[in-house]
Structure 1
Amino acid sequence: MKPVTVFGPDFPFAYDDWIAHPDGLATLPAAAHGAHVAIIGAGAAGVIAGYELMKLGLCPILFEPGQFGGRLRSQPFEGAEGVIAELGGMRFPVSSTGFYHYVDLLGIQSKPFPNPLTPAAGSTVIDLLGKTYYAQTLQDLPPLFHEVAQAYDAALEQEANFSALKQAIRDRDIPRIKEIWNPIVTAWDERTFYDFVASSEAFKKLTFHHREVFGQVGFGTGGWDSDFPNSMLEILRVNVTECDDHQRYMVGGVEQVPRKLWQHKPDRLVHWPAGTSLRSLNDGATRSGAKRIRRLDAGQIEVTDAWGRAEGFDAVLVTCQTHLLSTQIDTEESLFSQDLWMALDRTRYMQSAKTFVMVDRPFWKDKHPVTGRDTMSMTLTDRMTRGTYLFDNGPDKPSVICLSYAWMTDALKVLPLPVEQRVELALAALAKIYPDVDIRSHILGDPITVSWEADQNFLGAFKGALPGHYRYNHRMFGHFVQSDMPARERGIFLAGDGVSWTPAWVEGAVQTSLNAVAGIIAHFGGTPSPANPSPLEAYEKHGPVRLSA
């Protein structure tokens, strides 16, 4: 059976095939070789776009105000070798084939992520309303949980023609995808995730408690009640492209991907000498953060960094979160249409908090002398911790516990608290689930925590589209198509998972960065490879359905 990939459904284009094609992406005119392109943000979208533009003969200059890698952030624990906390993205579905193109190129190893009820987790504990359930698979749980899982599967099938849509994505059958997906967009644009669950015929037969359990246990990666206010279109995309399933983590940390790509020396380069890398083109380091963007009289776009260094660029790619264009970067308003500004400013970002500790060994694998069960398990709970994940680095080696992974209101509960207090709250919650386990006695070193909404360079973890936001998303995602724009708006592009159809998943950053690459190629008068059409050529025919104004 063909694999499911993130092939649409809004814009079904084979990005993985495009970047792997032996003919390359395009040819630029010689006059464009060496032209400087500013890239604002050195996360996945910025580094990938820079890498592909460099191969074509352009000179990408990256600006980064914070930590290299964006939300692909892997923080090492002090004093330990290779023991890290994944503060941003940490689980990557195999359907993200554009992302794995670069993972494989760089030779980075991955392993199955310990999601609930998967073999990688070993065992799972669900603690809900004061009751605790131990399981290794879904079959080990009481009938209530089976009823919830079956109801959600039935709701997707009955209301979204789910199996047929997934098969069309497997087959990369664009007409069939559009036939099924476009009417769903039209009908569901203003529908929340919770409305879908509560109003579906499958869940109407069940109780409120079933919906409560679904919000806590969810599907794939665990509880999804923090997403209940979000657009159901967003959730359906995650389900049908299997972003919530078959996930892996990067051994040694996902931050290796942007860092190694920054230093990678491609075999095939235009204009630049062999051995050129993004790092060498940037004199070994990124510039400081962009503080001002404005149009120059000659048509170039000037970017000024935090130290006042100003330079005109022939093109600019903005990959930072969209709110920074209003709050952190003095952006000339005429660079974007008012319709696009509305979309950029109305983008809603979700709060997210994680707290990690390093422990002396994977003690949770010890067997309880009475029950024979694992001493501790991957844990889903309605308590403050919400999700607790266990990362085994090998027998008798320092390992990692993500004590708490929380969203929205649960994340805001700990926002003003120092890391030590966050750890104490998490340990207190887990003590009620595992009263016989002394987690504290195994902790080494200092804990690590993050609240993405408190970082001025992010202001939130990632986009969570609300009902009615489809048109905004359409404007942002399609901005790379600039042929009909007025001259004052051309030459500045957008990328990042926040302008994609799949926020929170790195594949959205990859796909929008490649859209921007296609747009920048056209901006410089480039010619796509005849046997390898770009997203720009495909967009007019297969782009997202347009809803009425």
Structure 2
Amino acid sequence: MGNSSTTTTAPDQSKPVTIFGPDFPFAFDDWIAHPDGLGQLPAHRLGEEVAIVGAGMAGMVAAYELMKLGLKPVIYEASKMGGRLRSQVFEGTQDVVAELGGMRFPVSGTAFYHYVHLLGLETRDFPNPLTPASGSTVIDLEGNTHYARSLQDLPPIFKEVADAWAQALEDDARFSDMQNAIRNRDVPALKRMWNALVPLWDDRTFYDFIANSKAFAKLSFHHREIFGQVGFGTGGWDSDFPNSMLEILRVVLTNCDDNQRLIVGGADQVPHGLWRHAPTPLVHWPAGTTLQSLHSGATRAGVAAVARAADGRLAVTDTWGDTRHYNAVLTTCQSWLLTTQIAVEESLFSHKMWMALDRTRYMQSSKTFVMVDRPFWKDKDPETGRDVMSMTLTDRLTRGTYLFDNGPDKPAVICLSYAWMGDALKMLPQTPEKRVKLALQALKKIYPKVDIASHIIGDPICVSWEADPYFLGAFKGALPGHYRYNQRMYAHFKQDGLPPEQRGIFIAGDDVSWTPAWVEGAVQTSLNAVWGIVQHLGGHTHATNPGPGDVFDTLGPMALPE
């Protein structure tokens, strides 16, 4: 199992860790930034319509890049543009937002940040626990409350847990060596090490990794319990304990759980910005063309059915019964919707692919937000000199409480509760008012002197992603044994080996990617689909800038035996 006898090398801090692999170590950030562009289409294809199902980040990136190449994306959206980048403005304000979906974006997601920077959006450090952005952190476990500004301020047991986690990653996953390979983009070394871990950890859980590591074995159960309840970086890990360890390794190896930022004014500005942005250079379309202008200002309605038409093209029927034919269709919706919301002709995917799409497992998630009159938590307790309230991690009902300061003269936002799985399901039947009251009751036990309710203004904003008919969960959480399913879904964009009846329909989104819950996965899989659609329509990449499909046979994820 372990590689504890392997000598590791010190990390090369001169180069950044990015979401470069490990399953498919392709430099998406370099590909989209290359001056020669992503490819070229035959002249007779220019202006041709391509269907994009879903206006989330994956759909908008694909539509934007295909428009740049001279195609006419036709975007269908059943709910809200932005997908799981859902920023809801509090009533009466212009830019005080509750981030109901993605809210913290690791700087290692360099393809996503390509579009953030393209749109000129402002970002700032996310107030994660024990980071300078949070100011202070309170950890409340088993009725014991600890106030801290850094890990060193906590009792020694917390550092013991952090050290054990770091040691377990070194012993059993060659963490430093693999991060060095990612920093240096050393593809052979990265693939060699990662491919050795895949068969070892595909069918084993995160908890198995922790419980059976030498580093944790010499510690108590209470240490593992603390790790599950609190974790490090973004908070507790216990809701992920049943997941495949491979999924967790990808997160930590690529620094998804570290150095995260928020987008000032709301994360949905990225997909909305791509909708309105006029790219340059632009093939076929006149200067100033945008996705918005190609759609006369609005997306089409949601998709009700996709089938193979008599003319060989794909017939897409929307909610109101209008049917249009396309040579290529990209579905970016949650994979379960292909069987529950959209009548997709069964022959468009293989039975193996349907198995993968239907077996994908989604995690529940709930958030409860309130707007408050000011960032009162920065007030100092006259007896202790501490902040009167802090970013809070607890084993109580709220689990994680986050504080968002918009400036001393502006209303602020508290995410009273950010919970997962069973903790999220406890909130599912509750009204927003009941959710707030339950959260306030829990926080009152941690902060008995603070009257949070007296600061609340406006109505609360809540979400339970599992109750949304267009999402049915927050994001994918791969269980042990799911690697094969993910590999099928991820590789589907390269269609030269598929029978003709299965070609032309593509899939993308963070649930198709190897890094669910991180928007970078949505961006990378949408770029895979762009390559696939260009090839399907007879186009090609430039020799100076090969795309993901051009190198997939060499760099692609390993296939485990069936």
Give the TM-score normalised by structure 2. 0.97
- Aligned residue among 375, 385, 388 for 1:375: 388
AA at the equivalent of 1:231:
S
> What is the match of residue 469 of structure 1?
482
- Aligned residue among 296, 303, 327 for 2:340: 327
AA at the equivalent of 2:211:
A
Instruction: Please report how far the alpha carbon of residue 283 of structure 1 lies from its aligned counterpart in structure 2 after TM superposition.
Output: 1.6
Q: 2 CA distance for matches of 1:56 and 1:396? A: 46
Q: 2 CA distance for matches of 1:199 and 1:299? A: 54
Structure 1 residue 423 corresponds to structure 2 residue 433? no
> What is the match of residue 448 of structure 1?
461
> What is the match of residue 397 of structure 1?
410
AA at the equivalent of 2:91:
E
> What is the match of residue 78 of structure 1?
91
> What is the match of residue 123 of structure 1?
136
> What is the match of residue 488 of structure 1?
501
Structure 1 residue 530 corresponds to structure 2 residue 551? no
> What is the match of residue 69 of structure 2?
56
AA at the equivalent of 2:15:
K
- What is the count of residue pairs matched by the alignment? 549
- Aligned residue among 253, 275, 278 for 2:266: 253
> What is the match of residue 184 of structure 1?
197
> What is the match of residue 23 of structure 1?
36
Instruction: Please report how far the alpha carbon of residue 341 of structure 1 lies from its aligned counterpart in structure 2 after TM superposition.
Output: 0.1
Write out aligned runs for 1:17-166 (5 A): 17-166=30-179
Q: 1 CA distance for matches of 2:390 and 2:67? A: 46
AA at the equivalent of 2:316:
V
Q: 2 CA distance for matches of 1:214 and 1:484? A: 45
Residue by residue over 1:36-85, the C-alpha shift from the partner in whole angstroms, topping out at 9 and shown as x without a partner, is: 11100000000000000000010100010101100000000001231000
Q: 2 CA distance for matches of 1:301 and 1:282? A: 20
> What is the match of residue 240 of structure 2?
227
Structure 1 residue 384 corresponds to structure 2 residue 402? no
Instruction: Please report how far the alpha carbon of residue 299 of structure 1 lies from its aligned counterpart in structure 2 after TM superposition.
Output: 1.2
Instruction: Please report how far the alpha carbon of residue 355 of structure 1 lies from its aligned counterpart in structure 2 after TM superposition.
Output: 0.3
Pairwise CA RMSD of aligned residues?
Answer: 0.5
Write out aligned runs for 1:330-345 (5 A): 330-345=343-358
Structure 1 residue 296 corresponds to structure 2 residue 309? yes
Q: 2 CA distance for matches of 1:144 and 1:6? A: 31
Q: 2 CA distance for matches of 1:419 and 1:246? A: 32
- Aligned residue among 437, 457, 460 for 2:473: 460
Structure 1 residue 349 corresponds to structure 2 residue 358? no
Provide the secondary structure at the position in 2 that maps to 1:472: helix
Q: 1 CA distance for matches of 2:300 and 2:286? A: 23
Instruction: Please report how far the alpha carbon of residue 396 of structure 1 lies from its aligned counterpart in structure 2 after TM superposition.
Output: 3.0
Q: 2 CA distance for matches of 1:81 and 1:479? A: 41
Write out aligned runs for 1:431-446 (5 A): 431-446=444-459
Q: 2 CA distance for matches of 1:538 and 1:356? A: 45
Q: 2 CA distance for matches of 1:266 and 1:396? A: 37
AA at the equivalent of 1:320:
C
Could you tell me the percent identity over the aligned residues? 69
Q: 1 CA distance for matches of 2:560 and 2:274? A: 38
AA at the equivalent of 1:95:
S
Q: 1 CA distance for matches of 2:281 and 2:289? A: 10
- Aligned residue among 396, 403, 426 for 1:413: 426
AA at the equivalent of 1:407:
W
Q: 1 CA distance for matches of 2:453 and 2:409? A: 17
> What is the match of residue 511 of structure 1?
524
Residue by residue over 1:469-503, the C-alpha shift from the partner in whole angstroms, topping out at 9 and shown as x without a partner, is: 00000000000010010000000000000000000
- Aligned residue among 538, 544, 553 for 1:540: 553
Instruction: Please report how far the alpha carbon of residue 298 of structure 1 lies from its aligned counterpart in structure 2 after TM superposition.
Output: 1.4
AA at the equivalent of 2:131:
T
Residue by residue over 1:426-483, the C-alpha shift from the partner in whole angstroms, topping out at 9 and shown as x without a partner, is: 0000000000000000000000000000000000000000000000000000000100
Q: 2 CA distance for matches of 1:283 and 1:397? A: 36
Instruction: Please report how far the alpha carbon of residue 425 of structure 1 lies from its aligned counterpart in structure 2 after TM superposition.
Output: 0.2
Give the TM-score normalised by structure 1. 1.00
Provide the secondary structure at the position in 1 that maps to 2:132: coil
Residue by residue over 1:130-185, the C-alpha shift from the partner in whole angstroms, topping out at 9 and shown as x without a partner, is: 10000000010000000000000000000011000000000000000011100100
Instruction: Please report how far the alpha carbon of residue 119 of structure 1 lies from its aligned counterpart in structure 2 after TM superposition.
Output: 0.1
Q: 2 CA distance for matches of 1:230 and 1:189? A: 10
Instruction: Please report how far the alpha carbon of residue 527 of structure 1 lies from its aligned counterpart in structure 2 after TM superposition.
Output: 1.8
AA at the equivalent of 1:223:
G
AA at the equivalent of 1:91:
R
> What is the match of residue 9 of structure 2?
none
- Which 5+ residue runs of structure 1 have no aligned equivalent? none
Q: 1 CA distance for matches of 2:229 and 2:147? A: 15
Moved segments of 4+, more than 2 Å: none
